[in-house]
Structure 1
Amino acid sequence: MKNGIRLLMTALFGMLCLQGKAQYTFAFMPEVQGRSINNISQVRISNTGSAVTANLRIVVSEASVGTVVTIDIPQFQLLPGTSAVPPGAVYQAAVTFGNTKISTVIRQSGYFPSGDYEYCFQLFEGVSHNSELLAEQCFNYELEPFSNMRLIQPYDEDKICDKRPTFNWQPLIPAINGAQYRLSLVEVKDRQQPIEALRMNLAIVNQRDIPMPMLLYPSIANELVEGKQYAWQVTAYQNDLILAQSEIWSFTVDCEKDSTKLPVEAFRSIEDLSRGNFYIARGQLLFGVTNTYAATDLNYSIRCLTKPDQAVKKLPAVQIVRGYNQVVIDLTDNNSFKDGYYYIMDVNLPDGTRKQLRFIYKTAE
């Protein structure tokens, strides 16, 4: 009986000793936080014991070249529970780069190029890396840089009549679980550049937590005003960490030449126009076309027949929807078109057919 009591007491004492020793673990997402020098230190540390003074060393290695960078974060107070490294300690961190080409890229840009990386976190007690090692944990990840996140619609410098437009953009590639988008839309004032407007002006739309690369114009936002220019940009983020930003595009709300104000008879079928000898384009091309496929950009080009060496550039983007479309191609502001010159338009339809339209350009009266 006495031996049994002794064994029980010994077991309980051992359990108490184990519970008394703190455990430290690291919460780190290499696919998100492992892309830049600044984000690596956003690792979170879990402490199951009491508060302790500690310091942290982060060693990043790439499989083909070895260590590329070492970050030594000086002492900080690690509290019980899960917490991030204090910003003050991160600010005082010492960064040492390896002698590799990858290290040179990281030093110059602050970002990690594509590669097979290992991120190791070493937590030491006290103020020195020569003191007791409290915990060490490594994460492996094959990193691929994000592709440029491109805007799709409304087109850059486009003129639209929709005062509550739908916004579309290319999704984040490679995809990150939990990533969301934020769209910012502002008015561009006189003598302002779009980038300045986004930084200085009050946002008309500042929508967060967008799960897909598309946003219907918010019902609570005021509709856009005809004659005004607007700028927009999309940001991809996870939690409070920015992953990527798109370029800045602008557009103008202009309904003066909206096709809905033109009579239906103004739009002849492209089939009929293709059979004719010529077509007079008075500042714009008007034609009807049927698209049996999903909405897409109209694939077309225009060549000058009067002067074949004269290039026709900066043609407006035109989107066609599924079904019958009344297409308006505005040419009035394009210096490539001269009064009385002959041109030919090549149109490649989504069903694979190709149409050609010869026309003479006349300045709009």
Structure 2
Amino acid sequence: MKKGINILLTTLFGMFCLQAKAQFSFAFMPEVQGRSIDNICKVRISNAGSVTTARLHIVVTEANAGAVVTIDIPQFQLMPGVNTATPAAVYQATVNFSTNKLATIIRQSGYFPTGDYEYCFQLYEGTDHSSPLLAEQCFNYELEPFSNMQLIQPYDEDAICDKRPSFNWQPLIPAVNGVEYRLLLVEVKDRQQPVEALRMNLAIINQRQIPMPMLLYPSIASELVEGKQYAWQVSAFQHELLLAQSEIWSFTVGCERDSTKLPAEAFRNLEDLTRGNFYIARGQVLFSIQNTYAATDLVYAIRCLTKPEQAVKKLPVVHVVKGYNQIIIDLSDNSSFKDGYYYIMDVTLPDGSRKQLRFIYKQAE
């Protein structure tokens, strides 16, 4: 009889322990939270029962180095629902590092380098180290460092003509589910460095929750101003957790000639112009192109058709940026061009394609 009672009590105790463990569970993303000491402590704990006082013991192990760090977070309240350890409890946490080389790197930087890690979480009831274990769960992940986020366009220290440019950057690598980007654009005032401008100046664009590594200029933002310098930076987030930041790049808005004073129809697409008859160039040749490659100088040459023996020299250098370009080739001060003469322009675009534009030169009015 006594033996049967003992078995019954043991069974009931085991069922109680299983029920207690089922009451608590952990939500942890090692690819994001497993990169630093601070973020490991942000593990989410689900409590399916009533209010409980608990403490948290964390052990991080690397496959080759062994245990590297243990973290003991003292007592905090677990409310029904999803919880994290309170900031006050995390502040009072005891962090112990092992004596191996990897642990030394983690202690000095606060971040976990490349490795095959296991993150184990043990939740205990109350404050005593001998108190019962409420829940335990481990997560394994082969951690790779994020690559540096590279900005693409507008290029650093470039001069662009577009007052409502689009922005492009390299996506976060390795990819993280749910990653979103934030782009910050500010004006750089006189005697300011771009870093200071981003920290101090009012943002022209402060766009959050960008799902793709690009942003078209927001329609509600004021257009950029000719002659001014701007700085921009992109950050990657997973929810509210900062994953990576790009360098700070700057650019200016300015063209060799202010094309904004010309009507938009003055800049017809080069592809369309080459399909027509002779184009009339009144002191200058105007056309537009879309360049999907890096910024470069336009490769072009002009020949005279009226007098083929007449050489055309001293053509201006034309810089092409990535994206949409409104090209102005000013010929008004070049003595090679005669009023009423016919010319042909050979253009090699950045993608390698070649175009020919025939035009009649007329003196500017």
TM-score by length of 1: 0.70
Structure-1 separation of matches of 2:228 and 2:322 = 25
Residue 42 of structure 1, CA deviation: 0.6
Residue 50 of structure 1, CA deviation: 1.6
1:295 aligns with 2:286: no
Task: In structure 2, give the amino acid aligned to 1:212.
Answer: M
Contact residue 297 and residue 317 of structure 1 kept, 8 A: no
| Change beyond 3 A, Cα 1:317–1:145 | farther
Residue 319 of structure 1, CA deviation: 3.6
Structure-1 separation of matches of 2:109 and 2:171 = 24
Based on CA coordinates, which of the two structures has the bigger radius of gyration?
2
Q: Which runs of 5+ in 2 are unaligned?
A: 1-11, 271-284, 299-316, 330-347, 355-365
| Change beyond 3 A, Cα 1:18–1:126 | closer
| Superimposed CA distance per residue, residues 289-308 of structure 1 (whole angstroms, 9 cap, x where no aligned partner) | 999xx71115679xxxxxxx
Residue 256 of structure 1, CA deviation: 3.8
| Change beyond 3 A, Cα 1:352–1:163 | closer
Contact residue 297 and residue 320 of structure 2 kept, 8 A: no
Structure-2 separation of matches of 1:316 and 1:75 = 68
| Superimposed CA distance per residue, residues 153-208 of structure 1 (whole angstroms, 9 cap, x where no aligned partner) | 11111111211110011110011010000001111111111111111111111001
Task: In structure 2, give the amino acid aligned to 1:75.
Answer: Q
| Change beyond 3 A, Cα 1:316–1:26 | farther
Task: In structure 2, give the amino acid aligned to 1:244.
Answer: A
Q: Secondary structure at the match of 2:203?
A: coil
| Change beyond 3 A, Cα 1:289–1:239 | closer
| Change beyond 3 A, Cα 1:155–1:317 | farther
Other-structure match for 1:106: 106
Aligned runs of 1:1-365 on 2, under 5 Å?
A: 21=20, 23-257=23-257, 295-297=292-294, 318-319=320-321, 326=327, 350-351=351-352
Q: Secondary structure at the match of 1:195?
A: helix
| Change beyond 3 A, Cα 1:135–1:180 | same
Task: In structure 2, give the amino acid aligned to 1:47.
Answer: N
Contact residue 180 and residue 236 of structure 2 kept, 8 A: yes
TM-score by length of 2: 0.70
Contact residue 300 and residue 348 of structure 1 kept, 8 A: no
Residue 257 of structure 1, CA deviation: 3.5
| Change beyond 3 A, Cα 1:132–1:317 | farther
| Change beyond 3 A, Cα 1:234–1:290 | closer
Task: In structure 1, give the amino acid aligned to 2:123.
Answer: L
| Change beyond 3 A, Cα 1:39–1:28 | same
| Change beyond 3 A, Cα 1:350–1:20 | closer
| Superimposed CA distance per residue, residues 96-145 of structure 1 (whole angstroms, 9 cap, x where no aligned partner) | 11122211211111111111110000111111333211111000001110
| Superimposed CA distance per residue, residues 304-356 of structure 1 (whole angstroms, 9 cap, x where no aligned partner) | xxxxxxxxxxx99844569x99598xxxxxxxxxxxxxxxxxx9954499xxx
Q: Secondary structure at the match of 1:204?
A: strand
Contact residue 155 and residue 317 of structure 1 kept, 8 A: no
Structure-2 separation of matches of 1:57 and 1:130 = 13
- Count residues in correspondence: 286
